[in-house]
A and B are shown apart, each in its own frame.
Chain A
Amino acid sequence: MTDTAAPAARPRRRLPLHALGPLLALIALIILGASLNSNFLSAGNVTNVLARSAFIGIIAVGMTFVITAGGIDLSVGSMAAFVAGVMIMAMNAMIPALGIGVPLILAGMLVALAAGLAAGLVNGFLISKVGIEAFIVTLGSMGIYRSLTTWLADGGTLSLDYEARTFYRPVYYDGLFGIAWPIIVFALVAILGELAMRKTPFGRHCAALGANEQVAKYSAVKVDRVRMATYVLLGGLVGLATIMYVPRLGSASGSTGVLWELEAIAAVIIGGTVLKGGSGRVWGTVVGVLILSLIDNILNLASIVSPYLNGAIQGVIVILAVVLQREGKSAD
């Protein structure tokens, strides 16, 4: 605990080479992809990759704050499935009252945001007020949300009413000036997240809390409140990601969002945030998310190796991206 405090104060000073590690890995992947397949840089493919990164990306931005503050949240994948299920059921139930139109969509979005915030609040309350280990609380809620979703769906799939879905569909597939909505929302969340992390007291408090809780407490940081806020923020972002997810396939089931939590955490760590907390980099998280989805995309486009090995290649690249940073760090 005590020895993490000293290095934690340092990294903000400059943007040294090791911080660029993930960015270099991303650029290398883009060059690799472009050389393997001429369609890789086509507008269609770039849109596909960015739009499908948006769900994990939006969640990972929130996860950056949680991890920076020294916490962890394993429940986000299940939470996304649960929020999607609740949103779909609520929208189906409101069709007779609201009809199919903008009010129905807005009401559905409100439900999703409220459900996400509430789920985050429960996690945050148990962790910061009751004082249970974050790993245990969110491991528990991971199981709870996953089985609640299966239960709500009766073991099958919850599907949004066909006409409501047709009306809602453009939220995933259309966009502004040719840029799809999920990409726009992801970009906004990332920019606001980066600003909040660097320029606001909240961001500094998160880092202080993650670096050394005692010191933060004596420096008049309201530790409990900051910690709770990170989980609520993450819950809200899960709700937002769900709002973008539901119009894509219009359904949710027990297998929705499986392993999203690990992808989000991996993206945060690849991006240079320290798993122990104390220092966070939102832009790095965005790079991490893009690296993860590009690997999948390139493997599908290239099919150079047996698909059985896709997981192995993914693992190697993830480790390499982090090794790049480590080497820079020790040379620092």
Chain B
Amino acid sequence: MKRRDIFKGTALALVLAATPAFAQDTKVIGVAIPSATHGFMGGLNYHAQAAIERLEATYPSLDFVLATAGDAGKMVNDIEDMVATRNISALVVLPFESEPLTAPVQAVKDAGIWVTVVDRGLSVEGIEDLYVAGDNTGFGRVAGEYFAEALKEGDNIVVLRGIPTTLDNERVDAFTAAIDGTGINVLDMQHGNWNRDDAFNVMQDFLSKYDDIDAVWAADDDMATGALEAISQAGRDGEMWVVGGAGMKQIIKRMMDGDPMLPVNVTYPPAQIATAIELTALGQVSPTPVSGRFIIGSQRITPENAEQFYFPDSPF
């Protein structure tokens, strides 16, 4: 409690000295997220900025600090700076990695600041006031259920996996469980690392290796893009379809145009950061209870409902 008061005192003095015009009851919300190094994080950055703009217009009493970090160390520094110099009353954080961020976020919590954790959990439970995340198990299960419905016994599929992580394991295990007992044959699983070029190479090799493939679970839209290109290079367009994931706008556009190779997609929305920021802001400006866990379900996107998942302005 003491530390909190010191922070408050210094920060208040700074605020008063720097911007005397500011009302004293302005609350600052800190947002710390990884920088936009690939498509999904690019989308996440876009949605974070959009949510902040929206909220600053809606609630004049709220102020936001957004920091993006390229590694865990920088993220820790960002968070410490926010606490020390901006007197934040709430923190929304997507931990770069669970382990290194746990202790710093715990310290923020101990200073009496509201903590919202997004997507990747911390390694100690019960620190955060609010946890917002996508549903990785659901992501694999929803895709698996479509394969189970659309394929017959004895049909052959190949799977492109992401970067070897627990997140990838959860998805693949749920997928495997969903097609269990249907008689669908998983010919091969290899890591495409959520990367277009890697997925292209792996798919080329799958195509050289297997003469009969009926469907591909690419598990990610970047990988789906690479796989589709390899399939069309081999001239085997009509033979198989591909299910990606996460709803990249180019893929959603092709589904809206009725591409037969892309029958469905599964959401894992980068806009979950917006959910987290909005809920946190709501808790700051009103007595609305927002603590707990908020898991955003993975939905099946079909050509019929694709339009509602299409965000042409987002980079993802």
Interface residues of A (CB under 8 A from B): 37, 39-40, 42, 44-45, 48, 52, 150, 153-157, 159, 173, 248-249, 251, 253-256, 258, 296-297, 300-301, 303, 307-308, 310
Contact = CB atoms under 8 A, between A and B. Distances in A.
Contact of A301 (B195, B205, B234): B205
Contacts of A37: 208-209
Cβ-closest 7 pairs across A and B: A155-B36, A156-B315, A155-B42, A300-B205, A156-B42, A45-B208, A154-B315
Nearest to B249: A156
A303 B188 contact: yes
Given A155-B316, A251-B225, A310-B191, 9 more contacts: A150-B42, A156-B36, A156-B46, A156-B314, A156-B315, A248-B229, A249-B225, A253-B196, A300-B206
B190 interface: yes
Contacts of A157: 39, 42, 222, 250, 315
B46 A308 contact: no
B202 A300 contact: yes
B106 to A, nearest CB: 29
A32 B233 CA distance: 26
- Residue of B42, B222, B316 contacting most chain A CB atoms (<10 Å): B42
A146 to B, nearest CB: 8
A156 B197 contact: no
Contacts of B226: 249
A249 B230 CA distance: 9
Interface string B240-283: 00000000001000000000000000000000000000000000
Contacts of B41: 155
A231 to B, nearest CB: 25
A300 B209 contact: yes
Contact of B191 (A40, A156, A307): A307
Contacts of B201: 48, 52, 296-297, 300
A144 B135 CA distance: 35
B204 A48 contact: yes
A165 to B, nearest CB: 10
A4 B197 CA distance: 40
A155 B315 contact: yes
B206 A155 contact: no
Interface in B302-316: 314-316
Interface of B: 35-39, 41-43, 45-46, 161, 164, 188-191, 195-197, 200-202, 204-206, 208-209, 222, 225-226, 229, 233-234, 250, 314-316
A30 to B, nearest CB: 15
Nearest to A52: B201
Contacts of A155: 35-37, 39, 41-43, 45-46, 315-316
Given A254-B36, A255-B37, A248 B208 contact: no
A296 B202 CA distance: 9
Nearest to A151: B36
Contacts of B204: 48, 52
Contacts of B36: 150, 154-156, 254
Given A155-B315, A159-B250, A251-B225, A303 B38 contact: no
A254 B38 contact: yes
Contacts of A308: 164
Contact of A256 (B46, B197, B316): B197
Nearest to B37: A254
B190 A251 contact: no
B229 A153 contact: no
Contacts of B46: 154-156
B150 to A, nearest CB: 25
7 contacts: A37-B209, A154-B36, A154-B42, A154-B315, A155-B35, A155-B37, A155-B46
A173 B222 CA distance: 20
A44 B203 CA distance: 13
Contacts of A300: 190, 201-202, 205-206, 209
A251 B189 CA distance: 25
- Residue of A39, A155, A159 contacting most chain B CB atoms (<10 Å): A155
Contacts of A297: 201, 205
Contacts of A303: 188, 190
A28 B231 CA distance: 30
A40 to B, nearest CB: 8
A52 B225 CA distance: 17
B243 to A, nearest CB: 19
Contact of B38 (A48, A52, A253, A296): A253
Contact of B190 (A153, A159, A256, A307): A307
A44 to B, nearest CB: 6
Contacts of A258: 195
A301 B161 contact: no
